[in-house]
């Protein structure tokens, strides 16, 4: 039995109107994803960019809500298939990470991977390093935000290591990574740097434990 080129699950192929055999399974999400990847409909005609649904727009930053493969820089396009094929059902507890310089399409791709999980019924919570550090210093006010980071079935964390972490923020970040690893909750994350450069944004005691959990949380792709 063939495997879907998008979600990698077995399916019974169906003939298309032009006699070709469908290469994605028969769910609307997989068919749409395959068309979007190729930018063609079954008859070879270009498809317009797909408009995001209102539910997704309510949780995703507008900059990344509407995905268009034609906007991806070459370095992002090179890893697009691997990122967009991610499925939390087939890789439970394991996400995707993109590391590379700015303007390579990392955030655009990681948000689109999350949108596809959202379309399959997974709850998604999206945040970034700046927002994580900015949250209220009062722990009682910060608690609901941290709880969402801890328990969301899919968490998107953009720009890891964008700035040096304070003691409180670093402690919270370690707790979230540790909790999500123990409960096998997937994490999608991006970073501009890795190795010693990323380690330099953290304290000596927590740097290695945080980096180890980040590496184990996802398939890491360098853009």
**Mean pLDDT (whole number) for 100-120:** 95
Residue whose pair of structure tokens reads 């979007």 in the numeric block: 36
CA distance 24 to 32: 9
Q: How far from each other are the two terminal CA atoms of the chain, in whole angstroms?
A: 33
Taking the model in full, what pTM does it have?
0.77
Residue 22 has pLDDT above 50, yes or no: no
pLDDT at residue 141 in the model: 83
pLDDT, tens only, 126-184: 999 999 988 776 778 899 999 999 999 999 999 999 878 889 999 999 999 999 999 99
Nearest to 218 by CA among 96, 42, 73: 96
CA distance 177 to 189: 11
Strand order from edge to edge, sheet including 187-191: 124-128, 154-160, 187-191, 95-99, 218-222
Q: Domain-by-domain residue ranges, the chain?
A: 1-48, 51-222
CA distance 170 to 204: 11
Helix (H) or strand (E) holding 137: none
CATH class of this structure's domain 51-222: alpha beta
């Amino acid at each position: 039995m063939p495997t879907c080129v998008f979600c990698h699950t077995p399916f019974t192929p169906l003939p298309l109107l032009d006699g070709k055999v469908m290469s994605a399974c028969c769910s609307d999400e997989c068919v749409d994803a395959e068309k979007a990847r190729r930018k063609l409909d079954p008859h070879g005609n270009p498809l317009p960019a797909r408009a995001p649904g209102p539910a997704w727009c309510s949780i995703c930053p507008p900059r990344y809500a509407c995905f268009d493969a034609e906007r991806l820089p070459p370095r992002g396009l090179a890893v697009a298939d691997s990122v967009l094929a991610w499925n939390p059902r087939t890789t439970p507890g394991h996400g995707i990470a993109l590391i590379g310089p700015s303007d390579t399409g990392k955030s655009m791709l990681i948000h689109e991977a999350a949108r596809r999980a959202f379309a399959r019924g997974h709850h998604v919570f999206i945040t970034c390093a700046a927002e994580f550090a900015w949250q209220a210093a009062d722990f009682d006010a910060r608690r609901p935000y941290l709880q969402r980071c801890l328990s969301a079935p899919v968490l998107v964390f953009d720009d890891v290591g964008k700035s040096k972490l304070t003691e409180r923020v670093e402690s919270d970040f370690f707790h979230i990574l540790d909790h999500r690893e123990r409960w096998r909750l997937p994490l999608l994350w991006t970073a501009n740097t890795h190795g010693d450069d990323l380690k330099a944004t953290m304290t000596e005691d927590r740097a290695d434990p945080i980096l180890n959990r980040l590496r184990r949380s996802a398939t890491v792709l360098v853009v």
